[in-house]
Amino acid sequence: MSVIICPGIHEPALTESFISGWSSVDEKTVDILVFPAEGLLALSSLHIFQFLRDRLGNHLETPIIIISFSAGVVGAITAAWQWQLLGGQIKAFIAIDGWGVPLLGNFPIHRMSHDYFTHWSSGLLGKGDNNFYAEPSVDHLTMWRSPQTVQGWWVDPSVEASSKQVRLTAAEFLHSLVKRYEEK
């Protein structure tokens, strides 16, 4: 299984920090491929899809998890649909602060938000499966730069709001999701 990282429009050092902070939760090595987003290319599903084809070639049977951030969510969700139409297997799609982006697909979708308002309002465009929101709220880039420091709630929208919330960090949430899909 491979984890595909689709950053937003920001300094590449933030993505390196994200990977370091997320992987600090577990020493297990995951095959991580980072889309080299430069500026507006983060929005381009065509470039992300081509990146998948270049890196994974004809290994469509290799299951992938896509983790995308901010503007990268825009290009990544469409690239996920394209990859699946080609015959690729999407184990899960994780959108971090993909506010305003409709998320639909016949694969598991998870949203992570830097505050409750973004969590709630993004849900209007597709709640997805288990989600996470930061509490206390953090600024947008902190979710990407330092997921190991962001405290919040794991929320399952299919269960009553008060009965299924777990307190943890954003990095722990990501680790739990990746582990779940590795086992499936």
pLDDT tens profile 152-170: 999 876 655 555 678 899 9
- What is residue 116's predicted lDDT score, i.e. its pLDDT? 93
Q: Is the pLDDT of residue 62 over 60?
A: yes
Q: Is the pLDDT of residue 30 over 80?
A: no
More confident residue, 136 or 99: 136
- What is residue 164's predicted lDDT score, i.e. its pLDDT? 66
Length of the chain: 184
- Domains of the chain plus CATH, in order, are 2-183 (3.40.50.1820)
Cα separation, 138 vs 149, whole angstroms: 10
Q: Which residue shows structure tokens 């825009």?
A: 74
Cα separation, 58 vs 173, whole angstroms: 31
Q: Which of 17-21, 27-31, 137-141 has the lowest mean pLDDT?
A: 27-31
Alpha carbon of residue 140 to chain centroid? 14
Whether 105 contacts 81, CB under 8 Å: yes
Q: How many secondary structure helices (H) and strands (E) does the chain include?
A: 6, 8
